[in-house]
A and B are shown apart, each in its own frame.
Chain A
Amino acid sequence: MINLNGSLAINLDRLRPLTEPYADMVIREFALGSSGVAAAIVFVTPLADRDLIEQHIMRPLMSISAGPSEVTKHYLQNRVLAVSQLSVTDTAEQLLSKVLTGCTAILVDGMTEAFLIGTTTSKTRSIEEPISEALVRGPRAGFNESLSDNVSLLRSQGENPGLSLIKLQVGKQAKKSLIIAYMMDIANPELVAEVRRRVEKINIDNVAESGYVEQLIEDHYLSPFPQVQSTERPDRVMGALMEGRVAILLDGTPFALIAPVTFSMLLQSPEDYYDRWIAGTLLRMLRFLAAFVSLLAPALYVSFISFHPGLIPTKLAITIVGARVGVPFSSLVEALIMEVSIEILREAGLRLPKPIGPAMGIVGGLIIGEAAVQAGIVSPILVIVVAVTAISSFAIPQYNAGISLRMLRFVAMFCAAMFGMYGVILFVLFLCAHLVKLKSFGVPYASPAVPYRPGDWKDFFVRAPLSMMRTRPKLLGSKNKKRQGNESR
């Protein structure tokens, strides 16, 4: 620990060796106007705002007209430095670490303390539409990589003194700011405390993305299901906060986390609430159906073809068997070939530059599918099944929930190949057993379906008319239960 000395020359001599590893650090010496007192500023070049330093720090300092005896800490703080964020420090280490975050330090001859001025600028993207969660109706704004921008996006959604923010730091080596947001008068205090406890327990050198936080605070890392929701949409975060859930925002990533989450929440989209309730309800049911298809369609195909052709209509069975006459593989291998290639296609489509993506889809999907059928490797019915499955998995609004179902689909196919329908039933039972055992921050993952909470079923399969949704979801144990007064409508 090096304490700052009264002499500027000595301070700078001590600082210089410390700054050696930092090529981007600048030390600029000058005199405080007509007083002639020597001073120096320390900053790192692109990170600290040069404009601010030149216009609001150096210019006023260099045009001081007072005598040397009048130049005191108090005088500089109150009469000269026209900046809003100002603190002082008396150790060289703290000075350096602050400067490295973009602050500007001012050392003045004769003072044992240095001023630290917040001059950090960050180069951020402008606020754009979130790519992974596009909506037809709803706000177009999405989070970006700047924590302060993201917080202001939340704040700007209406005057709301209830929105409280807890600021924490995560990461041992690279310290990053993290904000836990919740509604003071709605969220269950135990939930907030639990989220905070888990975040504070994070002990890792670098938290690169909110995915790290997600994985470090989730309940069961062996489960295939996401137990924390991630989103790029401020309106989704706000909606969650209003239900009494807690959001976590991390600096440097556009993905905010929301906890707790239940399985049915992963199949909801903000649009359900923006559209009228009939459309919202039907779309939601469609998504449940899509989840079902995405999970089980290939497995059912395998089990019907290999074990129980008698259970499907006779004509269809004859068609399928006829189409499969030339296929040399068992239905499992056949389905695996197609499923794996479509997964590869999807993965490749993500990496490709934007203009090539659709072309790839056409080449992969249409041409390979068609050619595979003509070559007699797979049956045309299977191509239909696989295509419908793939499209269904895109209908799931949360990307990571879609991934869980994609993984489990393969497990289901193997179960079907071994035990037919019986295997599929047991797989579903196993999955349900897993879902009812799973909890996200103390909330049963399968709720509100089970345990029965009829009060919460207004926002489950059905999205009831807004005028009927007067209460917040009970499963979160929110403090403030009423959503609307009785008089509205």
Chain B
Amino acid sequence: MINEKDQITTIQVAVIVVNAMLGSGILTLPRSSATLVQTPDVWISVLLGGLLAMIAGVVMAVLAKRYPGQTVFQFNGRILGKWIGALVSLMFVVYFFMTAAYQVRIVTEVTSLFLLEGTPNWAIIMVFMWVSLYLMTGGINPIARLFEMILPVTILIYLLVMLMALNIVEVNNLRPVLGDGIAPVWKGIKSTALSFLGVETILILTAFMKRSEQAVKAVVYGVAVPMALYLITVVVVIGALSVDGVVTRTWPTLDLIRSFEYTGLIFERFESLFLVIWIMQIYSTYTISFYAAALGLAQLFNRPVAQCLYGLLPIVFIISVTPKDLTACFAFGDLLGQSSAFIFGLIPFFLLLITRVRKGKSG
């Protein structure tokens, strides 16, 4: 059970969900979705993908709040029986630390490309992991508080940078709306929905909530904020670079920010500011995924969380350095995304169904 000191408020849960979602998606979403859609209607895909994520989130929240004070790793066993439950939980754990590894790899790629040419990857990864480990040893409460610190800074700087980019947005790049009908939009949903990954943390966070009955509220707010930010991102990025321009760039959002200058300010280029908040966001996504994985292991095998935190460290490190190059890394990310659609799209739904049916029977 969760002791009282470890509880967090509804706002904190919403903030964690937002931070878990905002991550690598900001940089890559315009490209990955535009590649699939091929028309400027990406923003509709983002909207629909967000709604889909919200529905999935609500399903998970409804499920999780049926077992107040218990994480998904614990109530899996109660719904599915000990062994199958443990197997599913293990799947979740693997997913979470894979995500953590992916995030830390992405931050390394971007950092070595834009900030630190020549610094070895292992050094970049290691300091990142240590700083995160220091936070995680404090438990969920410090994590929540740090995320609360990061989020307003992120939103403020992000909106500022996007506002500056408005100068080079051309409305024509966003037209025509639904020129090829609705079909391309559907294709895009696959990619946009995945950029809302992170919503699954609600399965764990509900256990820590002071008022777990508000889980649905937290998840709805939690999805709404990234949805708004993603919408702004795709509109501004595609508006400025056009669909064709976006498809050919690896990091379209960063390229956009590098493409304008304001002379006379302290910074003429704003990618440094943007990278600051982006690294912070990746840090938060990584931290919560890693913590979820460690917590899952701890609860599955009845070990102290601290042990699992240290134990996972080398594993995540090795996974993160495994992909050979950026292409392999993105492939790894796609794989993660697809498996997540199954893990967090379908399993919670079935779990909820089972509990409903059982309740119907016993009632």
Contact = CB atoms under 8 A, between A and B. Distances in A.
A451 B142 contact: no
B115 A307 contact: yes
Interface string B142-155: 10111011100000
Contacts of B280: 425, 429
A437 B138 CA distance: 6
Contacts of A437: 135, 138, 142
B196 interface: no
Contacts of A425: 276, 279-280
Contacts of A420: 115-116
Contact of B268 (A314, A430, A449): A314
Interface in B244-300: 263, 265-269, 271-272, 275-276, 279-280, 283
Nearest to A304: B272
A312 interface: yes
A433 interface: yes
Interface stretch (B126-134, B167-175, B349-357): B126-134
A444 B142 CA distance: 9
A450 B148 contact: yes
A481 to B, nearest CB: 19
Q: Which of B119, B142, B265, B269 has the most CB of A within 10 A?
A: B142
B279 to A, nearest CB: 5
A421 B149 contact: no
A21 B276 CA distance: 69
B146 A433 contact: yes
Contacts of A419: 116, 119, 123-124, 127
Given A429-B131, A433-B134, A433-B142, A422 B9 contact: no
B145 A422 contact: no
Nearest to B279: A425
Nearest to B143: A436
Interface residues of B, number: 36
B121 interface: no
Contacts of B142: 433, 436-437
Contacts of A436: 135, 138, 142, 145-146, 149
Contacts, number: 88
A311 B124 contact: no
B11 interface: yes
A312 B267 contact: yes
B12 interface: yes
B35 interface: no
Contacts of A426: 127-128, 131, 279
A311 B127 contact: no
A450 B176 CA distance: 45
Q: Which of A307, A308, A314, A422 has the most CB of B within 10 A?
A: A422
Contacts of B127: 419, 423, 426
B111 interface: yes
A313 B134 CA distance: 36
Given A313-B263, A450-B148, A422 B138 contact: no
Contacts of A429: 131, 135, 146, 280, 283
Interface string A431-450: 01110110000001010011
Contacts of B149: 432, 436, 446, 449-450
Interface in A445-489: 446, 449-452
A449 B144 CA distance: 12
A309 to B, nearest CB: 12
A261 B124 CA distance: 35
Contact of A308 (B8, B124, B263, B272): B272
B86 to A, nearest CB: 32
Contacts of B150: 432
Contacts of A313: 263, 265-268
What are the nearest 9 A-B pairs in CB distance?
A433-B135, A436-B145, A450-B148, A450-B145, A437-B138, A311-B272, A436-B142, A437-B142, A313-B268
Interface of B: 8-9, 11-12, 111, 115-116, 119, 123-124, 127-128, 131, 134-135, 138, 142, 144-146, 148-150, 263, 265-269, 271-272, 275-276, 279-280, 283
29 contacts: A307-B116, A308-B115, A311-B267, A311-B271, A311-B272, A312-B268, A313-B265, A313-B266, A314-B268, A419-B116, A420-B116, A421-B272, A422-B111, A422-B279, A423-B127, A425-B276, A426-B279, A429-B131, A430-B134, A432-B149, A433-B142, A436-B145, A444-B145, A446-B149, A449-B149, A450-B148, A451-B11, A452-B9, A452-B12
Interface of A: 307-308, 310-314, 419-423, 425-426, 429-430, 432-434, 436-437, 444, 446, 449-452
Given A307-B115, A433-B135, A452-B148, 19 more contacts: A311-B267, A312-B267, A312-B268, A313-B263, A313-B267, A314-B268, A419-B116, A420-B115, A425-B276, A429-B135, A429-B283, A433-B134, A433-B142, A444-B145, A450-B145, A450-B146, A451-B9, A452-B9, A452-B11
